[in-house]
């Protein structure tokens, strides 16, 4: 999906100095401290590039490596072989040459300090893709992760919509992930269904694929942001206001509302083929929650999709909401929902 605003073109890296030419060093998996991002990058020495590096002329908020002219089967640090891009993802297929283990790799500009720092902060967490290794070169960083088993966007689109018991179980995992990120001073910004992938083949456990576009707050309690990032269908009303500062955490909660609505209904709460019309609908904040959803589900959706940021439920409180806290897994959905035909198809621009 196209973004609200593109980031400036990535500057070309300066020619590496002789001191930069050494063996690539992976970050230790046992790191528990959280040094500044610059110090983290200093721990990853740059090796002399032997592989054919990819070219990243532009970095966008939706994909760090959009527009990459990448030569497949590149060899990185004499250890990893990089293949084609994973469908619907910003990651590339990757194989450990020594063990033949299949992995995925994210290729970002070397100045992506916020992304690396965010992963180091949450490297231990079950719901965030574990950063297995970082390989640095003179221009790019190669972030290696374990593979996933499909993304939530494709899953919901294939299923049309999810029954409340399944939606509750998966959305609870998403809400837990956002809560942990906010507790650690990380605002996710570009929250959407596609960011969450399945960690198991049975597709019951979710994890956040990457922390790209995340902001690491200097002071966790101060989350005021001013840049406009995110996919149009998920962006909050306050972000659309010209020159306005906004609460990054509150904007994340709005995006959670869009995610939950889409999981339960099978379409976005605000949808239009023209972005100007879409943004006008979002700014007005008017949407319809189908009556076939349970009262508690409708309540949670409305608690998240409030036009006024200060009125939205917070990441600290959302897990205590009756719809998520309930133990009963009975499917409340009425027959009317089965007969409902969405007036707008659930289509992401990425799929076109």
Q: Decide if 190 is catalytic.
A: yes
- Map the chain to HEC letters: CCCCCCCCCCCCCCCCCHHHCCCCCCCCCCCCCCCCHHHHHHCCCECCCCCCCCECCCCCCCCCCCCCECCCCEEECCCEEEEEECCCCCCEEEEECCCCCEEEEEEEECCCHHHHHHHHHCCCCCCECCCCEEEECCCEEEEEECCCCCEHHHHHHHHCCCCHHHHHHHHHHHHHHHHHHHHCCEECCCCCHHHEEECCCCCCCEEECCCCCCEECCCCCCCEECCCCCCHHHCCHHHHCCCCCEEHHHHHHHHHHHHHHHHHHCCCCCCCCCHHHHHHHHHHCCCCCCCCCCHHHHHHHHHHCCCCHHHCCCCCCHHHCHHHHCCCCCCCCCHHHHHCCCCCCCCCHHHC
- Which of 62, 151, 190, 252 is the catalytic position? 190
Question: Which residues carry out catalysis?
Answer: 190
């Amino acid at each position: 999906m196209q973004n609200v605003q593109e980031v400036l073109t990535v500057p070309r890296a300066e020619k590496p100095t002789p001191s930069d030419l050494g063996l690539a060093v992976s970050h230790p998996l046992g790191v528990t401290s959280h040094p500044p991002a610059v110090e983290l990058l200093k721990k990853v020495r740059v090796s002399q590039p032997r592989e054919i590096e990819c070219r990243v002329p532009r970095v966008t908020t939706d994909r760090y490596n959009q527009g990459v002219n990448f030569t497949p089967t590149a060899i990185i640090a004499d250890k990893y072989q990089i293949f084609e891009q994973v469908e619907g993802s910003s990651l590339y297929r990757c194989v450990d040459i020594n063990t033949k283990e299949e992995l995925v790799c994210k290729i970002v500009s070397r100045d992506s300090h916020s992304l690396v720092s965010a992963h180091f902060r949450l490297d231990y967490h079950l719901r965030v893709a574990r950063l297995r290794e970082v390989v640095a070169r003179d221009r790019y960083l190669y972030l290696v992760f374990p593979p996933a088993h499909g993304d939530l966007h494709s899953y919901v689109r294939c299923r049309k919509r999810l029954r409340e018991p399944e939606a509750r179980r998966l959305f609870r995992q998403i809400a837990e992930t956002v809560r942990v990120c906010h507790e650690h001073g990380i605002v996710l910004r570009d929250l959407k269904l596609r960011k969450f992938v399945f960690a198991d083949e049975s597709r019951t456990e979710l994890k956040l694929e990457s922390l790209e576009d995340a902001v690491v707050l200097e002071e966790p309690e101060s989350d005021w942001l001013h840049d406009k990032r995110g996919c149009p269908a998920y962006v909050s009303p306050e972000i659309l206001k010209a020159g306005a500062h906004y609460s990054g955490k509150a904007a994340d909660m709005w995006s959670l509302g869009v995610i939950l609505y889409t999981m339960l209904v099978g379409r976005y709460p605000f949808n239009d083929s023209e972005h100007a019309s879409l943004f006008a609908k979002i700014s007005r904040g008017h949407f319809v929650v189908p009556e076939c959803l349970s009262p508690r589900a409708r309540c949670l959706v409305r608690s998240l999709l409030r036009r006024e940021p200060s009125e939205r439920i917070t990441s600290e409180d959302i897990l205590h909401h009756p719809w998520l806290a309930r133990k009963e897994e009975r499917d409340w959905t009425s027959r009317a929902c089965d007969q409902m035909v969405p007036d707008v198809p659930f289509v992401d621009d990425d799929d076109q």
